Amino acid sequence: MEKQEQVSTGANELLYQSGFGNSFSSEAIQGALPQGQNNPLVCPFGLYAEQISGTAFTAPRKLNQRSWLYRIKPSVTHEPFKPRTPTHKKLVSEFNQSTSSATPTQLRWKPEEIPDSPTDFIDGLYTICGAGSSFLRHGFAVHMYSANKSMENCAFCNADGDFLIVPEKGRLSITTECGKLHVCPGEIVVLPQGFRFSIDLPDGPSRGYVAEVFGTHFQLPDLGPIGANGLAATRDFLVPTAWFEDEVHPGYIIVQKFGGELFTAKQNFSPFNVVAWHGNYVPYKYDLHKFCPFNTVLMDHGDPSVNTVFMCPLISVLTAPTDKPGVALLDFVIFPPRWLVAEHTFRPPYYHRNCMSEFMGLIYGKYEAKADGFLPGGASLHSCMTPHGPDTNTFETTVGRGTDEAPSKITETMAFMFESSLIPRVCPWALESPCMDHNYYQCWMGLKSHFSHEGSDCCNKEIRSKRS
């Protein structure tokens, strides 16, 4: 596709390009992009050409992802990597019996406190659960982060997979090799595998959620019978424009996550020295408030897949697919403000057991199926075939309204879900966390039987009499 028109975000004073999966191009200095070829003998302004590939060279054209970066010095110009000290003991990318535990119990966590000691995004990142292996290029991890300090004189690079970051508290100012992104709570950002980035905290303390996928990338869900429009519109995804630093930075550190472990390498320049770039493998952000949800208009509550942002149609925003049609390695699903209109229907999400596993978080407000206990910054995990659904208060309140309830609108809320076909294992520090809500199960214990069979004996006697 052609280069997209740049759009301004107003108060953020940044320019972005819009679109999803496009072939973008951007230059911070006019004429810095080579014309007619990717790798000329001498690039404009004496820049180095460097390709970053997110897929195999021979991947089908429609799936192939790569970008060309034209930089002042190539990224290879650094000292050898060494294991980072002190080690980060709460990151996992290989989920097995030695690193994590299996449990079918419904789990819920209260919000993590912001740390007292200086903590940046890297040190504030910790794994909750996941499945598979980054070494085998198949699986996912769910992390959370809690930080109070900007990254200084260092950049992070995730060689294991793509990061989907969902801030819940505090803005993120993210510098990438393609340019800058400002990300507020209520927005998400995807940082693809291999890109170097640094995160500043303009509001001070920040907290949020991170989904990581191994061996694949997020894409938009097919819309199926919805048609050509709805859910997340491609034009609402924003990609940075070129921005670069040309300064000496003695002792600059590249922190690389590789197999769940952290390694460091020193160099004397900023990795954000890309003057121009073009391609379709890029960081991007999306404002969840622009999502166009679909819902019931007559009866019965729709399946949550209607809210997928990435992959699954319905509520899904984004998806990271598997080889099986309709089955996702990870779906990103949101529960935004929306109207509830249904006749003779229990409108909150129904009780269910699911072959998929569901990790939920809350960005702000209240979640419609949990009247109490599920707080912004908190999380819950309902694994494969573990029953879950509305708590007692939600059920009793909903049924008590009767069948004549008028259409109602859910407002001032934004919940989300990472949903996977894989069964997650849970990290020990998550199970032992002081934020673990050990009384979570109590929210269902008040559900009582409403079963009534008055008159059934007479009816059964009449049936037996006729049969005899």
Residue 457 lies in a domain: no
To the question of whether residue 281 is assigned a binding role by annotation, the answer is: no
Domain contains 452 = no
Give the angle 102-324-218 at the CA atoms, nearest 5°: 80
pLDDT at 364: 95
Tell me what the mean pLDDT of segment 443-455 comes to.
Answer: 87
Number of structural domains, the chain? 2
**Residue given tokens 């319905």 in the structure block:** 314
Nearest to 207 by CA among 147, 130, 267: 147
10 lies in a domain? Answer: no
155 within domain boundaries? yes
Question: In terms of domains, do 95 and 197 share one?
Answer: yes
Residues identified as active-site: 301
The answer, yes or no, to whether residue 468 has pLDDT greater than 70, is: no
Q: Show the domain range for 294.
A: 289-444
Which residue bears the tokens 């980072």? 84
**Together in a domain, 308 and 359:** yes
Confidence grade of residue 323 (pLDDT, cut at 50, 70, 90): confident
Looking up residue 120, the CATH number of its domain turns out to be: 2.60.120.10
Same domain? 195 vs 336? no
Residue 388 annotated as binding site: yes
Rg (Cα) of the chain, in Å, rounded?
A: 24
pLDDT the model gives residue 10? 45
Task: Clarify whether residues 293 and 265 are in a common domain.
Answer: no
Q: Is 358 annotated as a binding residue?
A: yes
Mean pLDDT of 315-332: 82
CA dihedral of residues 454, 457, 463, 464 (deg, nearest 10): 170
Please state, in angstroms and as integers, the Cα–Cα distance from residue 170 to each residue in 147, 165, 385, following that order.
10, 13, 35
CA distance 314 to 23: 27
Q: What is the mean pLDDT of residues 123-139?
A: 97
DSSP labels, 235-285? GGEEEE-------EEEEEEEEEEETTEEEEEEEEE-S--EEEEEES---EE
Mean of all residue pLDDT scores within the chain:
89
Do 317 and 369 belong to one domain? yes
- Whether residue 206 is contained in a domain is answered as yes
Give residue 455's pLDDT band: very low, low, confident or very high (50, 70, 90): low
| Stretch among 56-70, 250-264, 412-426, 440-454 having the lowest mean pLDDT | 440-454
As a residue count, the chain comes to 468
Q: What is the dihedral of CA 52, 58, 64, 65, to 10 degrees?
A: -10
User: 311 and 227 in one domain?
Assistant: no
Asked if residue 238 and residue 138 are part of one domain, the reply reads yes
Flag the least confident range among 8-22, 117-131, 224-238, 356-370.
8-22
pLDDT digits (tens, 9 = 90+) for 369-422: 787 889 999 999 999 999 999 989 988 888 888 776 788 888 899 999 999 999
**Per-residue pLDDT at 231:** 86
Flag whether 369 is in a domain.
yes
pLDDT for the residue numbered 97? 96
Q: Say how many C-beta atoms besides its own lie within 10 A of residue 289's C-beta.
A: 12
pLDDT bracket for residue 348 (50, 70, 90): confident
**91 has pLDDT over 60:** yes
Half-sphere exposure of 449 (CA within 13 A, CB side): 3
> Is the residue at 372 inside a domain?
yes
Kindly state whether residues 389 and 312 are assigned to the same domain. Answer: yes
Stated pTM of the model: 0.91
Q: Where are the alpha helices (DSSP H) in 60-189?
A: none
Mean pLDDT across 345-373: 88
Lowest-confidence region among 10-14, 227-231, 252-256, 414-418 = 10-14
DSSP string, 166-231: EEEES-EEEEETTEEEEE-BTEEEEE-TT-EEEEE-TTS-EEEEEEEEES---BPPP-GGG-SS-B
Helix or strand run (H / E) with residue 157:
strand 154-158
Chain centroid offset of residue 259 CA: 20
Q: Looking at the structure, do residues 100 and 188 belong to the same domain, yes or no? A: yes
Quote the pLDDT of residue 463: 45
Strand, coil or helix: 374? coil
Q: Which residues of 407-417 are buried (b: 16+ CB within 10 A; e: fewer)?
A: eeebeebbbbb
**Chain center to CA of 4:** 25
Contact between residue 317 and residue 225 where contact means Cβ atoms under 8 Å apart? no
Both 257 and 320 in one domain: the answer is no
Q: Is residue 11 a part of any domain in this protein? A: no
Distance from C-alpha of 192 to C-alpha of 160, rounded to nearest angstrom: 10
Beta-bridged to residue 331, according to DSSP, are 419
Same domain, yes or no, for 205 and 320?
A: no
The verdict on 298 and 216 lying in the same domain is no
